[in-house]
Amino acid sequence: MFSWILALVLALVVWIAATLYLWLVRRRNNETRAGLAALAGLHWRDFSEIVRRALHDQRGWHLSTHQPEDDAGPRSDFLMRDGDGGQWMVSCKHGRAYRIGAAAVNELGAALRLAGARGGLLITEGRIEREGLAAADKQSIEILDGRRIWPVLKPYLAPELENRIVRGARHRAQRHTGIAALASLTLGLLVGLGYLSSHPSDPDPMADAMATATATAKPMRAPQGAAAAPSAGASSPASAPAAADADELTPDPATLDRYQASVSRALAQTPGITRGIWLTRMTLAVDREAEDAVVWPMICREVERYPVLRTVRVQLNPRPGIDEPVRWRQCSTI
């Protein structure tokens, strides 16, 4: 039972961890990757227009009337004015293939200084290299690339395109969650079976305690009114056997070890039995090659030679190459 509880708990923990990863990390990554691909598929004029709308709605920026070359139409580089009247140079590098370094950032820095802008904003679906980030920090240029750009521009895509991207990421996460559940269940079964194979003969502590208490119990005292015991000088023919039985039922540890070793040696020489091993004081594990009906009388014959061992629990292990359960039996009961 413990092995299957362990397997169930392990499978549940693995499935919960996988589900959290798939929905909180993997789903967002899939959605971002699909969203960037959708943005990269837009015409550069449409991409610039989406950027303008996003900056207007989210930051309150307006398109400046003083554009480079006096062109207020859609372009990849344009000036915008914030609420305080400060100008910002916005540069759109449209495409996922961009790997922007320090040169492009320095070019934008020169352009914003020439235009008298307060700072710059570089937006791309590509990636800014480390040297480009370092150059941007020195020139008041904000970077929005790759993963950071998708949450900003997501609400400005066509609704059907946005819904298709979100649904696709969600369906993929659901499919992977089902696969994770099957994998977790398989892992739990393997762990449970592995535990059973490595612990084939776990003894029952309660049964061992009960058997030990029964075997070592003292003879009950005679009830009141019974015949008086014979005097010390009188002889009783039953007194010697009774004392011998008491000694047999409560032997000292060395004597009990000798009894058990004698039983193990006898079983090892018995046809149909491979060996007999004492797992505890009151549990004997027997490896056998013959059927139960053949070996059981021979096991009991050896065990019952010693009164203290008559009530031991005998564990019959499965025969080699035969799919059968472990069995526990007793030769005698109180």
Interval 100-123: pLDDT, tens? 999 999 999 999 999 889 999 999
CB 222 within 8 A of CB 30: no
Residue written as tokens 């495409």? 95
pLDDT above 80: residue 73: no
Cα angle 303, 308, 311; round to 5: 65
Strands 119-124 and 87-93, by their bridges, are: parallel
pLDDT at position 135: 92
**How does pLDDT run across 206-235, given as a tens digit for each residue?**
445 555 555 554 444 444 444 444 444 444
The confidence band for 197, taking pLDDT boundaries of 50, 70 and 90, is confident
The third-level CATH classification (topology) of the domain covering 201-215+249-334 is Transcription Regulator spoIIAA (3.30.750)
Q: Which residues of the chain form CATH 3.40.1350.10?
A: 2-163
Check if the beta carbon of residue 91 is closer than 8 Å to that of residue 60. Answer: no
* Across 281-288, average pLDDT: 89
**Radius of gyration from C-alpha coordinates of the chain:** 43
- Nearest C-alpha neighbor of 120 from the set 145, 144, 141, 98: 141
Separation CA 8–CA 189 (nearest Å): 8
2-163: CATH number:
3.40.1350.10
User: How far apart (Å, rounded) are the C-alpha atoms in residues 108 and 139?
Assistant: 9
For residues 232 and 20, the model is more confident at 20
Q: How confident is the model at residue 146 (pLDDT cuts 50, 70, 90)?
A: confident
pTM of the predicted structure, to 2 decimals = 0.51
| C-alpha angle 167-171-176 in degrees, rounded to nearest 5 | 150
Structure tokens at 302: 């050896």
Q: Which pair of structure tokens corresponds to residue 180?
A: 């994770």
- Asked whether residue 6 carries a pLDDT value surpassing 90, the answer given is no
Q: Residue 274: what residue type? A: T
Contact assessment for residue 177 and residue 19, using Cβ atoms and an 8 Å cutoff: yes
| Beta strands per DSSP E along 101-170 | 119-124, 127-128, 141-145
Average pLDDT rounded to a whole number, residues 122-127 = 92
DSSP 220-256: PPPPTTSPPPPPTTS--TTHHHHHHHHHHHS--HHHH
In this structure, the dihedral spanned by the alpha carbons of residues 16, 21, 24 and 30, taken in order and rounded to 10 degrees, is: -140
pLDDT at residue number 144: 92
Residues carrying CATH 3.30.750, the chain: 201-215+249-334
At 240-254, the pLDDT tens digits run 444 445 556 778 888
> What is residue 218's predicted lDDT score, i.e. its pLDDT?
45
Q: What is the mean pLDDT of the chain?
A: 81
Q: Which helix (H) or strand (E) holds 315?
A: strand 313-316
Tell me how many degrees the CA angle 74-77-79 measures, rounded to the nearest 5. 90
pLDDT at residue 10 in the model: 84
Residue 286 has pLDDT above 70, yes or no: yes
pLDDT at residue 228 in the model: 42
Residue with tokens 């904000």: 142
- How much is the pLDDT for 232? 41
Answer positive or negative: Cα dihedral of 185, 187, 193, 198: negative
Residue 110: what pLDDT? 93
pLDDT given at position 207: 47
The conformation of residue 324, written as its DSSP 8-state character, comes to: -
Q: Is the pLDDT of residue 292 over 90?
A: no
What is the C-alpha to C-alpha distance for residues 30 and 22, in angstroms, rounded to an integer? Answer: 10
Query: At 237, is the pLDDT very low, low, confident or very high (cuts 50, 70, 90)?
Result: very low
pLDDT on residue 21:
92
